[in-house]
Amino acid sequence: MEDKVIIKFDNVSFAYKADEGETVATGVVDGFSLNVPEGQFLAILGHNGCGKSTVAKLMNGILVPDSGTVTVDGMDTSDDEKVIDVRKTVGMVFQNPDNQIVATIVEDDVAFGPENLGVAPEEIRKRVDDALKAVGMYEFRGREPHRLSGGQKQRVAIAGVIAMNTKCVVMDEPTAMLDPQGRQEVMDTIRMLNKERGITVILITHYMDEAVKADRVVVMDKGEIVLDNEPRKVFKNVEKLKNLGLDVPQATELAYRLKQAGFPIADDILDEKECAAAILKVLEVK
Amino acid sequence: MIKDITIGQYFNGNSLLHRLDARMKIILTVIFIVSIFLCQNFWSLGLMLLFTLVTVTISRVPLKMVFKSIKPIAIIVVFTSLLNIFYIKGGTPVVDWKFIHITSNGLFTALFMALRIICLVVVSSMLTYTTTPTMLTDAIEKLLSPLKVFKVPVSTLAMMMTLALRFIPTLVDEIDRITNAQKARGANLDDGNFMQRIKALVPIIVPLFVSSIRRAIELADAMDCRCYTGGPGRTRMKQMKFCLRDFATLFVMVLFVAGIVVLNMYFGAVLVK
Amino acid sequence: MPILSANGVTHLYNKGTPSQSKAIYDINVDIEEGELVGIIGHTGSGKSTLVQHFNGLLKPENGQIIVDGKDIWKDKKSTREARFKVGLCFQYPEYQLFEETVYKDISFGPKNMGLKEEEIHKRVLLAAEYVGLKKELLEKSPFDLSGGEKRRAAIAGVIAMQPKVLILDEPTAGLDPKGRDRILEMIKSYRERTGSTVLLVSHSMEDVAKIATKVLVMNKGQVEMYGTVDEVYSHSVELRNIGLNVPQVSKVFEILKSNGMNLGSAYTVEKAAEIILSKGGASV
């Protein structure tokens, strides 16, 4: 059976306008087409200014295309009447945890989305408790957000999206401002969303070790897709990724370098375990 | 550390006052403020003082904190008292020496005003000590909601208040960071005359302004994403419900006002016309 | 003589408040001139608190900070001198830009030092060159620059004070790999050209491995380890115990070791490839 497509970009172009009506060079999206099947964990990679954040904002109608169409669960995002339904379907988590929390108490913030949707009070309470438990922040429900760590704030933001019962979450570099521990917390939460709740996740990032965990990786450059495949096949293109100003995981790079030097090792290595196993295989044979 | 500030002056507790509905507390505070100005003699004044003391006692807020709320108004109290003592005429003369004329009316008015101002501040601070800023905002929104009929954007105003409360600590933190960063570049913020000090603030205010605008834009997007429209149809998770204790307290307040009125009528006014 | 030392430095903040986690206890460390020291430790380990002591932004409750042979709290003048001898560049420094032009912003520090106009001019141009800012950008508003350029302009503002010790707190935070490599490259060449001491506070063990000569590991407000990159990174188990993640290539070598293949240790891809090739490359 064909997977149901939840977000569909059809030949989408978009450019930011400066004050004088000129277009700005960064963040342009040009002739962009993409299908995101329901339940997928998709990572979008690219350097700053390649248009990946623009794509994120096009996904729930924060931006609407100059030409082409973005369809969310069958709804055109440029249809003004559907805007709330689109955002009910596709939630969003941003980079700066401070600038997306609206309430002075954690649980009130999680309740914000459902309140806006006019959900009944008892139902909101249920959703808020459930969402906070899911991200492991239930004990913090009565706290003030400004006393939380960055990772905890992002988890509250994610809970806010869960409480809206969205089918899909777009995360725009949610870990860029976090320390390694916070990044780990957020990545674990994202995986849980996808695996346990079946929520479609679109993760915009430039951390390769995060993209490795996705089902599919799309690499963008100058507003276009340059690579689109499962992580293993994408990261094989070490040279190409480096030329695009991107990293590959160290294990992948090590294998690549060894192979370049004539060392007979597989070139589709993703993590330290695979890398060590491959090296052992070669060295022990001798 | 500046970051550890608590917004408003909420004092965490679980007293009867803490548990009262915030709307009722606002209503009661307003009634009390009005009744303060009804007192005309020492008997009703005494009742007012007694009521204030009882309120403080059941709130379980430490006296030290209560005094802290009176401190800023001490100068005003002293100043108005002096004005009253020297300028109110009437009643029996108490001191009549050269250019100083003090009358009983002047003394009584001074005493009345001082006690009224102190009670007013103490009782209003009880409201803010026992109610979180969030609860206050919600209560104000509810109490003002009839104004929606006159197209007053009550919900939007309440949302703005909440956001202001939410971002105060963030901005305080930011000021702290920017100040440190500019100090590290040798900015001198502590010395110099008034103008120099004002000028020295530019390197802090400009970045603060720039970042606040950036935050506002991002916040607007985030609120859009969470379907905030500012329009009708918004529900609230936390419902406010009046319960028995709210009405009981209201009843006590009515008794108190009645007491003041009765004492006024029975003993007459202390000021001589 | 070390350029920078902390002798028994303790700073407790208000006990019982959330800031207590930022406290540091009895820090003793000597930084030799010309080193590039990576300072690592997870959030709340006290590394930011420590570096704010080095330029006198924070005053130790106990102990001394010696910069260039002088106790920086001896008198008011010494404290002010320390600000300029130890240049501290905070995290996300682009948010401290405020002047009308990049040139004016970079000259803010030197101006506060009371330098003459020609000297300031020289320093601004030199600092801009160190960080790779093109001359034509100097007359632009700092708010018109790109993200990476803003960051480099802000760093130039600290470099222009020509500090003996340059401290950078997470200079690569939030940048993409290209921007990150550019900053790291810049730091490395700045140190090579000026011979000054650089302290790099970082969460990234990979970044530190790439450019540092020495590593200072902070944990719970104390110095856990201080030594060369080799010395520190070889303690991968201890590092992991305090919540630090060694680079992925080091993990590869650990796994190899646990499988009976001890190749020593490596923490950069280059080094790892070299070791493996020398082991098995010859016969291929």
- Give the span between the Cα atoms of C90 and B184, in whole angstroms: 9
Could you tell me the pTM of the whole model?
Answer: 0.87
Taking CB atoms and an 8 Å limit, are B134 and A125 in contact across chains? no
What pairs with residue C31 in β-bridges? C4
Q: Is the pLDDT of residue A3 over 80?
A: no
Q: Is the pLDDT of residue A17 over 50?
A: yes
Burial class (CB in 10 A: 0-12, 13-18, 19+), C142: buried
Taking CB atoms and an 8 Å limit, are B169 and A146 in contact across chains? yes
- Give the span between the Cα atoms of B154 and A55, in whole angstroms: 36
Taking CB atoms and an 8 Å limit, are B186 and C89 in contact across chains? no
CA B136 to chain centre: 11
The verdict on A260 and A230 lying in the same domain is: no
Domain of residue C153 covers 4-229
Residue A244 lies in a domain: no
The verdict on A146 and A270 lying in the same domain is: no
Question: Chain A closest CA to C36's CA: distance in Å?
Answer: 22
Q: Which residue does chain B place closest to A128, by CA atoms?
A: B237
Residue C268 lies in a domain: no
Residues from chain A contacting residue C148 (CB–CB below 8 Å): 48
- Give the span between the Cα atoms of C125 and C120, in whole angstroms: 9
Residue A81 lies in a domain: yes
Chain C residues with CB-CB distance to B under 8 A? Answer: 13-14, 17-19, 22, 52, 55, 57, 80, 83-84, 87-90, 93, 95-98, 108-109, 112-113, 143, 157-158, 161
Domain of residue A278 covers 249-286
Residue C235 lies in a domain: no
- Owner of token pair 């709307």: B23
Residues near A75 by beta carbon (within 8 Å), at least 6 away in sequence? A82, A85, A86, A89
pLDDT at C151 (0 to 100) = 95
Nearest to A181 among C18, C42, C273 (CB): C42
A61-114 pLDDT, tens digit per residue, is 999 999 999 999 999 999 999 999 999 999 999 999 999 999 989 999 999 999
Q: Which of A134-143, A265-274, C204-213 has the lowest mean pLDDT?
A: A265-274
**Number of domains observed in the structure of chain C:** 1
Residues from chain A contacting residue B162 (CB–CB below 8 Å): 102-104
Q: Which residue does chain C place closest to A254, by CA atoms?
A: C269
Neighbours of chain A (3+ CB pairs under 8 A): B, C
The verdict on A230 and A276 lying in the same domain is: no
- Give the span between the Cα atoms of C135 and C149, in whole angstroms: 12
Taking CB atoms and an 8 Å limit, are C43 and A149 in contact across chains? yes
Q: Which residues of chain B have pLDDT under 50?
A: 1-7
Q: How many CB atoms neighbour CB A175 within 10 A?
A: 23
- Give the span between the Cα atoms of A154 and A189, in whole angstroms: 10
Q: b/e map of A106-117 (b: 16 or more CB within 10 Å)?
A: bbbbbbbbbbbb
Helices (H), chain C: 47-54, 76-85, 102-106, 108-112, 117-130, 147-159, 177-194, 205-211, 229-233, 236-241, 248-258, 269-276
- Give the span between the Cα atoms of A45 and A56, in whole angstroms: 12
A214-257 pLDDT, tens digit per residue, is 999 999 999 999 999 999 999 989 999 999 989 888 999 999 99
Residues for chain C: how many in total?
Answer: 284
- Owner of token pair 């725009």: A172
Contacts 24+ apart (CB under 8 A), B229-233: B229/A84, B229/A116, B230/B153, B230/B155, B230/B156, B230/B159, B233/A118
The size of the A-B interface in CB pairs under 8 A is 99
Q: Report the sign of the C-alpha dihedral through residues C113, C117, C123, C124, in that order.
A: positive
Q: Is C78 on the interface with A (CB under 8 A)?
A: no
Q: Which residue does chain A place closest to B229, by CA atoms?
A: A116
Residue C193 lies in a domain: yes
Q: Which residue does chain C place closest to B178, by CA atoms?
A: C96
Residues from chain A contacting residue C244 (CB–CB below 8 Å): 180
The verdict on A15 and A53 lying in the same domain is: yes
B236-270 pLDDT, tens digit per residue, is 888 888 889 999 999 999 999 999 999 988 887 77
Taking CB atoms and an 8 Å limit, are B222 and A103 in contact across chains? no
Question: Chain B closest CA to C259's CA: distance in Å?
Answer: 49
CATH number at residue C221: 3.40.50.300
Q: Which residue does chain B place closest to C18, by CA atoms?
A: B4
The verdict on A256 and A228 lying in the same domain is: no
The verdict on A64 and A143 lying in the same domain is: yes
- Give the span between the Cα atoms of C129 and A250, in whole angstroms: 32
The residue among A99, A148, A254, A286 with the most chain C CBs within 10 A of its CB, best to mutate, is A254
Q: Which residue does chain A place closest to B160, by CA atoms?
A: A102
pLDDT at C224 (0 to 100) = 94
Q: Is A194 on the interface with B (CB under 8 A)?
A: no
Structural element, H or E, at residue B51: helix B42-59
**Number of domains observed in the structure of chain A:** 2
Q: Is the pLDDT of residue A202 over 90?
A: yes
The verdict on A93 and A60 lying in the same domain is: yes
Which residues between 91 and 150 in chain A have a beta carbon less than 8 angstroms from any beta carbon of chain B?
91-92, 94, 96, 98-105, 107-108, 111-121, 124-125, 128, 144-146
CB-based contact C91:C168 (threshold 8 Å): no
pLDDT at A48 (0 to 100) = 86
A148-191 pLDDT, tens digit per residue, is 999 999 999 999 999 999 999 999 999 999 988 899 999 999 99
The verdict on A190 and A269 lying in the same domain is: no
Question: Chain A closest CA to B224's CA: distance in Å?
Answer: 8
The size of the B-C interface in CB pairs under 8 A is 68
Full pLDDT tens readout for chain C, 284 residues: 899 999 999 998 765 554 556 789 999 999 999 999 999 998 888 999 999 999 999 999 999 999 999 999 999 899 999 999 999 999 999 999 999 999 999 999 999 999 999 999 999 999 999 999 999 999 999 999 988 899 999 999 999 999 999 999 999 998 889 889 999 999 999 999 999 999 999 998 999 999 999 999 999 999 999 999 989 998 888 898 888 888 889 889 889 988 888 888 888 898 899 988 887 654 44
pLDDT at A271 (0 to 100) = 87
The verdict on A200 and A259 lying in the same domain is: no
pLDDT at B4 (0 to 100) = 43
CB-based contact B183:C83 (threshold 8 Å): yes
DSSP 8-state code for residue A24: P
